[in-house]
Amino acid sequence: MGINWAMAGGMLVVYAAPMLDPRWFPPLALVGFGYYPLMLGLVVCGIWWALRRNSRFFLSLMVLVMGWTVHPRFWQWPSFEESNEKDLSLSSLEESANSSQGERLVVMTYNVANFRLTSTEGTEKEDGFESPRDYLVYLLDSLKPDLAGFQDFVSWDPQHFDVLRQMNQDPRIRGFTFVGLNRARRAVCFVQRNFRTVSTSPDFFSGLGLWTRGKVLDFGYHNLGEGDSPTGLLWADILLNNDTIRAMNVHLASNRISAQDLQPVRSLDLQSDTAQKSIFRIFKKIAGNARLRALQAETVHKKVKASPHRVVLMGDFNDLPHSFAVCLAGDGLRDSFVAKGRGFGHTYAGGFPSFRIDHVMADPTLSVLGHRVLPGRHSDHHPVIAVLGR
């Protein structure tokens, strides 16, 4: 019973995570990692007492019921994805879009990881895509999103081809407008009309980007306190079917967990001094960067509230789905996964921590018709698609 009480108390702390500002005490950022083990423990304890016909099972039941608004942020039924997820995702999203009685808005957020191939290089050729750029063009052509937000986007550097120019010349996705950050970390607009480029900006974009088929009325960028880092908040007022939407693409501070940090942990030799030091270093990084994300989320929240138009907030939040930063930034908005997601919705494909860290959140006046996390190993993140009704 003592173990049961300890897990019940731990779960209540997890429920309170959005109210626990890590700026008070950085380790508070780690409480969300206890959700899954505590959930399993409470279920096991509840079954144990029920089989013994002991009324103590009500403790686990009561605590689990108290979190009925929290559980959907971590998982949705069904918990197992279908075998042919790629086709099912595209077809079901199309069905969701077509089933809308009014106009619909297809939104995508995708951290493209600078278009660098992951460690599983064979995946790109096995699924028919020669490069991460080809996979991105496939998504834009197949889903035909009205709006897409990219993080860690790079248009050109000495080691990469000119991605944006190649996309501009691709007949499948012609006719788009791109808002991105130039070398000076200033927002500039790259416009294509009648298959010709109209832009006075340099041929270099890096970091955040917004891709749209609509007309961009205004745009801007807010640095969220990371200096020259390609993170922050990029926004644009976009006219889509006589309706103006403010798209806000965010990339909050990363935990900066390196492959060197993870190597001892992946060896499963957790008793070794090296592994324990690595685990301590990982959690220290998570806790430290959580303080910065709290400050950034506060700024994002203010910008959302100050918007003169309905907001669609998307991006890489680099934090747990039920954390102080994510809940503050998305306060008052509708989480597409909570509304129409399924399974665990994990969007990070690079290993630990494998949680849902990429989000699409919309103004409550926009209904959510569909949400999917698409497979693929062309980045350390999975693309997230949401279909919104207007």
Domains belonging to the chain, first-starting first, are 2-68 (no CATH), 85-261+289-389 (3.60.10.10)
155 falls in which pLDDT band (50, 70, 90)? confident
Predicted structure pTM score: 0.88
Q: How far apart are CA 345 and CA 382, in angstroms?
A: 10
What band does 158 get if pLDDT is binned at 50, 70 and 90?
A: low
How would you list the strands of the sheet with 147-154, edge to edge? 196-198, 187-193, 177-181, 206-212, 147-154, 104-111, 384-389, 367-373
Q: Are 286 and 32 in contact (CB under 8 A)?
A: no
Task: State the residue for tokens 């747990």.
Answer: 320
pLDDT tens digits for 169-179?
788 887 789 99
pLDDT, mean of residues 149-163: 76
Higher pLDDT, 211 or 255: 211
Give buried/exposed letters for 115-135 (b at 16+ CB in 10 A, else e): beebeeeebbeeeebebbbbb
Distance CA 249, CA 244 (A): 16
Residue range 273-291, pLDDT digits in tens: 666 777 777 777 777 788 9
pLDDT at 320 over 50: yes
Asked whether residue 83 carries a pLDDT value surpassing 60, the answer given is: no
Q: Compute the average pLDDT of residues 279-308.
A: 89
What is the predicted pLDDT for the residue at 28? 87
For the chain, the straight-line distance linking the first and the last C-alpha, in angstroms and rounded, comes to 51
What's the 3-state SS for 353-366?
CCCCCEEEEECCCC
What are 73's two structure tokens? 């942020």
Residue ranges of E strands in the chain:
104-111, 147-154, 177-181, 187-193, 196-198, 206-212, 215-222, 232-240, 243-251, 310-316, 334-335, 358-362, 367-373, 384-389
- Provide mean pLDDT across the span 107-114: 94
Residue 222, pLDDT above cutoff 70: yes
285 with 26: CB under 8 angstroms?
no
Return the H-helix or E-strand segment holding 79: none
Q: What is the pLDDT of residue 271?
A: 61
Structure confidence at residue 132 (pLDDT):
85
pLDDT score at 200: 45
346 near 373, Cβ under 8 Å?
A: yes
